Amino acid sequence: MKAMKTPSTLVAIVAAGTIAVAVLTSTANGSPADDPDDILPGILPLDSPATPRPTATPTTTPQPGTFTAGPSLAPACTGVAIKPGQEAADIVDAYPNGTTFCFTAGLHRITRTIHPKADQVLASDQDAVLTGSVPLTKWTASDGAWVTTGVLPAAYGRSGQCEDNVADICYLREQVFVDGKHLTRVAARDKVAPGTFYADYGANAVYLGDNPAGKSVEMSKTDVAIRSSATGVTVRGLTVEHFATPPQGGAVVLGLNWKVSANDIRWNHAVGAMLVNADGAVLEKNLIQYNGQLGVGQYSTLNGTISGNQVSNNNTDGFWIADWESGGIKTTWSNGGSVSGNLIKDNRGVGLWSDAYDDGRTFSDNQIVDNAADGIRYEIGRNGVIENNVITGNGLGTGRGSGTSLWDGGGINVNTSSNVQVRNNVVANNVNGISIQSRTRGSGPWGKNVLRDIVVSSNQVTMKGGTSATGMVQNSGAVIPAGEVTLNGNTYILDSLTTNRFQKTGQWYTARQWRSTGQDTNSSFRTG
């Protein structure tokens, strides 16, 4: 855990409380399910005529549907026009509270951060692009590469943690784009090759591995696009790209009661959109993609709403996938509010992460697909609800800190938190199913950080490969008291009923053995 300073409709998945009777449909050796030796005590066979079959959770995994977000949803804009070539920050400064500004079509170079006043609207209905980059035009051939000088800032200190902790260059903010293509930064001049660049801050020189002749070469420079302490600001219909945001910093920083909707926030160095002390703010229906560290961050916010966004392909600049704040969405030190109805897909990190003293947060109705680390991680928080999400194909990334044990996470990972309800989710084909972790994590504003009162119910969990498991782990300094973790009323779809797919504090169990521990006594275990 690192504290942060910082499509359309989800398919209806599961109805709570639908599992009244649990069944085994087959065994590993293919013997009939109604063989008395293959039916757990108190469990009815499928073909029993005496009792109606229960209504069960789905046996197929819903796939991500169509999803609409971004500038195409923005309504018409009427107000003060801002045209390409004009200094947008100066124009916004010159008008009073409540003014609407309409960015016209084209590329708007933002050379200093825009600071809107209370209730101002920054909008476009013409696909306006706000860029924080500058063109690089003066190139000289240099030993198989091309170099330009005099374009970099002075060298600055490290922050953040990189996947490659040897080269350790992910924190460097300036990105380079050739004809719109993001180049990969390398750590030394002799590593420059096609598709890469090297920035030598001491010599104030940028080296390319591609011949820039006849091409557009841009380097991100301005750090933040839009940020202010004013309340009630609206930002909509804009494309915001190429800002040299520092680690944990957003290209668009929301404040109190802001509404940021129908934008495309992309290819910024660190975080796309940040909610910071942004009580009542709404971030909805945006495309938030290809940012260098994280799609969305939230810090110290009461009742913020993050909904209906497509958050995909973030962490392009190599931040640590397994255990630093890279990936899709991360929230910390926030109370109430929700993250709901988002598509969170293909991020190189955790899909949706609550970390460090979130209280009363709800994560619901999201599609969380193919993220490199956990689908959902709920860490050192309390009073959380994780419900009605579809969580598939997560946690299968490789690299520093990645792994396959319950300590490494799963589709859903509840870590050293209290009073968390995990219900009505579809969790399929992730590195693990549901991982409950109790770790020694010190103390905080609520006292000692402990794992308590976790209830996992009415979920459908598919586990068919490798060492995939559901269960709980603890370290020696954080033993889980009896009765503090309850799993029941779930449906498990397994490769075999005799494979060890469940774990409790180091001991592995088959489905039958798992029930004997007192967990999932009224759950369904199936193959197929």
Quick: pLDDT tens for 432-474.
999 999 999 999 999 999 999 999 999 999 999 999 999 999 9
| 163 neighbors 318 (Cβ within 8 angstroms) | yes
Contact 241, 130 (CB under 8 A): yes
Give the pLDDT confidence of 481-494 residue by residue, as tens digits.
999 999 999 999 99
Please compute, for residue 387, the number of CA atoms within 13 A of its CA located in the half-sphere on the CB side: 16
Flag the least confident range among 25-29, 178-182, 226-230, 442-446.
25-29
Nearest Cα to 166, choosing from 357, 318, 35, 294?
Answer: 318
Q: Domain 222-527: give its CATH code.
A: 2.160.20.10
- Is the pLDDT confidence value at 65 over 50? yes
Model confidence at 54: pLDDT above 60: no
Give the tens place of pLDDT for each residue, 361-410: 999 999 999 999 999 999 999 999 999 999 999 999 999 989 999 999 99
Residue 450's pLDDT is 98
Domain ranges of the chain: 135-220, 222-527
Tell me what pLDDT residue 528 has.
Answer: 82
Residues 6+ apart with CB under 8 A from 260: 234, 235, 236, 252, 254, 273, 281, 282, 283, 284, 286
Mean pLDDT across the stretch 165-192?
Answer: 98
| Per-residue model confidence as pLDDT tens digits over 145-164 | 999 999 999 999 999 999 99
Q: How far apart are CA 96 and CA 245, in angstroms?
A: 28
30: left (phi over 0), alpha (psi -120 to 50) or beta: left
Number of C-beta neighbours around residue 517 at 10 A: 14
pLDDT band (50, 70, 90) for residue 67: confident
pLDDT, one tens digit per residue, over 195-243 is 999 999 999 999 999 999 999 999 999 999 999 999 999 999 999 999 9
